[in-house]
A = this chain, B = another copy of it.
Amino acid sequence: MTDLLFKKLVSTLSSLPGIGKKSAYRLGFHILRMDATAFSNFIESIESVKSNLKFCKKCAGITEFEICEICTGESRLKNILCVVELPEDIFFIENTGEYKGKYHVLNGVISPLDGIGPENLRIKELLERLKDEPVEEVLLATNPTLEGDATASYLFNLLRATGIKLTRIAHGVTVGSTLEYADQYTLGKAIKSRLTI
């Protein structure tokens, strides 16, 4: 019975992304060792996010409101729209401090093997926004993976007739790293996209 209860927790924890069985045991015992205050803070922190946050009706980023603070933000540029795969990508881009426009989350990428086609992504919503909003540039910021690149290509073909400027995040050598550690494709792209200094 003790076993069953703990194993249920282990199986719950190991269903989380990136958590294997050994990590799940470690997490489970960590939770078991928390004192009452730490444990109630832990649960409360998870529950308050879960009950207060939802997905923005416009961009599908996370928010407490119907429409998120980036979509309604007066200080954000209205003429540039950054298309990302997932809501978490917004956080990663916001962390750079390099982008001041709006976002649009696709909620995935085109992936025929997983049965995900363009109709499963928020592309119809994107086209509607491009009609309604004064967007002059769409920055395609899907991941530089096979599926992310294919999705960017699909959107490029779909949108190029609109006359809106279409851009893609640059490939290149990691900042602070050395050429030795860049793979040949990345280094090749970094040379092709070389900048005049």
A residues adjacent to B (C-beta < 8 A): 1-2, 5-6, 8-9, 12, 16-19, 23, 25-32, 34, 39, 41-43, 45-50, 52-53, 62-65, 68-69, 86-88, 91-92
B29 and A87 within 8 A (CB): yes
Do the beta carbons of B5 and A52 come within 8 Å of each other? yes
Secondary structure type dominating chain A contacts: helix
Known: A2-B53, A46-B9, A46-B43. Contact between A26 and B88, CB under 8 A? yes
The quantity of this chain's copies bound in the complex is 2
A64 B2 Cβ-Cβ under 8 A: yes
A88–B29 touching, CB < 8 Å: yes
Nearest CB in chain B to that of A48: its residue: B5
- Closest 10 interchain pairs by CB? A12-B45, A9-B49, A29-B88, A2-B63, A18-B23, A2-B64, A17-B30, A25-B88, A9-B45, A17-B26
Further pairs besides A18-B26, A29-B86: 7, Cβ < 8 Å:
A2-B63, A9-B45, A9-B46, A9-B49, A12-B42, A29-B88, A32-B53
- Asked if B49 contacts A28 (CB within 8 A), the reply is yes
Contact B45 A43 (CB under 8 A): no
A5 to B64, Cβ gap below 8 A? Answer: yes
> With A68-B2, A88-B26 as given contacts, are A49 and B62 in contact (CB-CB < 8 Å)?
no
Bound Cα distance from A26 to B19, whole angstroms? 11
Known: A62-B32, A87-B29. A49 touches B16 (CB 8 A): no
User: Chain B residues near A31 (CB, 8 Å)?
Assistant: 46, 49-50
Give the complex CA separation of A195 and B68 in angstroms: 68
